[in-house]
A and B are shown apart, each in its own frame.
Chain A
Amino acid sequence: MPPLLSHPLALRFVSFGAVLALWEYAGRAGVNAVFPSVSETALAWIALAADGSLGKALAVTLTPLVIGVVVSALAGIGIGLLMGLSRRAEWLGVPFFIVLQAAPLAAIIPMLILAYGIGLATKVAVVCVMAVPVIVLNSYKAVRHTPGSLLEMGQSFLATRPQMIAKVMLPSASPVIFAGLRLGVAAGFIGAILAELLISPTGIGDLITYHQSVADYPRMYAAIVTIIVMSLVFLEVLGKIEVSVFRPEKRASP
């Protein structure tokens, strides 16, 4: 491969560019009347950003999302660790979270509305319900699969239980825990948008539904693209946190 292309960033730009080109082509070719081209969408995005409505909508959407993701991450990793460390917690928790993970959770949103109304609490709850199961199950599996030789090593060098957890099990589990977090964050984004579409049209969900109803498709797509990009940014930040906090060896040589 030429050196320019072998850079991981270059590869990303190329694939990104290809998708954009395809989108622009499809938009211009008029695949569908409701499908705008990239350039139209970009102009719409600039207009939305300029009049401040995009910023406001993002803030509204991100509030329950960030709260939900942080709560899910803390609770999910905590519960997952507990299940990985204690047989009893495992016995209690595993069936429950496997059912939760398999269930179409959007179906319980009406139940949450009944319980918590249509405010912030419900939206946070939706994000959590979507994000927690996968985070829990990944953390649990990651801890359970700590290599036996590392455990024996810790034991033979007299690690206490808390040391073993903090210095051996957690770092060893961190790649799988973070994979779970990434899936959880993605699910959380779905939850946040679902909540806005199903509960009360606010934030980005409101931008999407409103511009759809007035047939302003470029703006509708601009809103959709914005939330997708936000999701990617979240995942990227997560990756950075993982490498800098837990796995410095991945930074040393990519």
Chain B
Amino acid sequence: MSTIASLTASPPIADRRAEPSTAVAVRAVSKAYPGVEALREVSLDCPAGRLTTLLGPSGCGKTTLLKIIAGLIKADAGTVEVLGRTVCGPGPERAFVFQDFALLPWANVVRNVAFGLELRDVPKSEREAVAAHYIAEVGLKGFETKYPHELSGGMRQRVGLARALAVKADVLLMDEPFSAVDEQTRRKFQEDLLRLVAQERKTFLFVTHSIEEAVYLSDRIVLLSRRPGRIWKVIEPDLPRTLSPDQIRREPVYLDTVEAIWQNLRQYVE
């Protein structure tokens, strides 16, 4: 089956391809910590309703960039626009999925997932209904009353994801969300994520260290150079999404893109 054929055969995906507006626009952002230049004049666009991945060597400033977009860190120079508005702090249209989960240890799964809504003074019954929906969505049904220390790393990450989804933000910023989970969970989670991108029509900005993961999940991959982080290359893999996960991973497009990125990143290793 050719890529073109599969695209026309499946309306949601064709739809997904035909919506190029920009959700996140980063313009010439620079950031230096005392003694460390983390980012230098970074500019990038994240298309709305798509998944964009940040990929780059450790310490190149990916987390810094994500937190600047989230409004948690101030940039030294440059601006960030999210859905057309300039960012000057955290906002309700963005939600962050933290690399270290950042769950409240004293709150059970329901309260953790509903925490963003609790902070917005949504009534208890209402926010718990929303939480229950997203708990089911990330596959944690039956664990509602467990506490974080009773969950595995992958399950905690799902709680963090459900919490971000529950506030119904349009832009999800995810910092290495699968770094703590095993390969099986990771694959399952990748499928969930692809389903969410298709269903929820949200914009995802995703940090990972895995080239395969980036290529498999992304509509757009932004390669960052070694510190100080600069945009180095933007790649748009065009995978036939109607195929099964295993088939996609055997497609020439997939394999070639992985190989091309590896060749690029290899220069940094040598």
The interface residues of chain A lying within 8 Å CB-to-CB of B148 are 249
Q: Does A253 contact B (CB under 8 A)?
A: yes
The interface residues of chain A lying within 8 Å CB-to-CB of B162 are none
Chain B contact-residue range equals 20 to 34
Q: Does A168 contact B (CB under 8 A)?
A: yes
Q: Which residues 222-252 of A sit at the B interface, judged by CB distance below 8 A? A: 246-249, 252
Q: Which residue in chain A gives the minimum CB-CB distance to B72?
A: A152
B98 and A155: CB pair below 8 A?
A: no
Q: Which residues of A line the B interface, CB within 8 A? A: 147, 149-150, 152-160, 163, 167-168, 171-172, 174, 246-249, 252-253
Q: Does B104 contact A (CB under 8 A)?
A: yes
Which of B115-123, B127-135, B184-192, B224-232 lies at the binding interface? B115-123
Which of A153, A155, A249 has the most C-beta atoms of chain B within 10 angstroms of its own C-beta? A153
Which of B53-61, B89-97, B206-214, B257-265 lies at the binding interface? B89-97
Q: Does B124 contact A (CB under 8 A)?
A: no
B119 and A171: CB pair below 8 A?
A: no
The interface residues of chain B lying within 8 Å CB-to-CB of A249 are 105-108, 147-149
A157 and B115: CB pair below 8 A?
A: yes
Which of B119, B120, B163 has the most C-beta atoms of chain A within 10 angstroms of its own C-beta? B119
Question: What is the bound-complex CA distance between A156 and B95, given in angstroms?
Answer: 7
The interface residues of chain A lying within 8 Å CB-to-CB of B71 are 156
The interface residues of chain A lying within 8 Å CB-to-CB of B102 are 147, 149-150, 152-153
State which of A149, A159, A172 has its C-beta within 8 Å of the C-beta of B119.
A159
A158 and B98: CB pair below 8 A?
A: no
Question: What is the bound-complex CA distance between A160 and B102, given in angstroms?
Answer: 18
A149 and B98: CB pair below 8 A?
A: yes
Q: Which residues of B line the A interface, CB within 8 A? A: 67, 70-72, 90-92, 94-96, 98, 100, 102, 104-108, 115-116, 118-120, 146-150, 163, 167
The interface residues of chain A lying within 8 Å CB-to-CB of B116 are 157-158
The interface residues of chain B lying within 8 Å CB-to-CB of A154 are 119
Question: What is the bound-complex CA distance between A152 and B95, given in angstroms?
Answer: 12
The A contact surface, by secondary structure, is helix
Closest chain B CB from A182 CB (angstroms): 19
Closest chain A CB from B148 CB (angstroms): 8
A-B contact pairs, 17 of them (CB 8 A): A152-B67, A156-B71, A156-B95, A156-B96, A157-B95, A157-B115, A157-B116, A158-B120, A167-B118, A171-B104, A246-B106, A247-B106, A248-B106, A249-B149, A252-B108, A252-B147, A253-B149
B119 and A153: CB pair below 8 A?
A: no
The interface residues of chain A lying within 8 Å CB-to-CB of B115 are 157, 167
The interface residues of chain B lying within 8 Å CB-to-CB of A171 are 104, 106
Question: What is the bound-complex CA distance between A157 and B98, given in angstroms?
Answer: 12
A152 and B105: CB pair below 8 A?
A: no
The interface residues of chain A lying within 8 Å CB-to-CB of B67 are 152
In the A-B complex, the 10 residue pairs with the closest CB atoms: A249-B147, A153-B102, A157-B116, A149-B102, A156-B96, A156-B90, A171-B106, A159-B119, A247-B106, A157-B119
Closest chain B CB from A154 CB (angstroms): 7
Question: What is the bound-complex CA distance between A147 and B90, given in angstroms?
Answer: 19
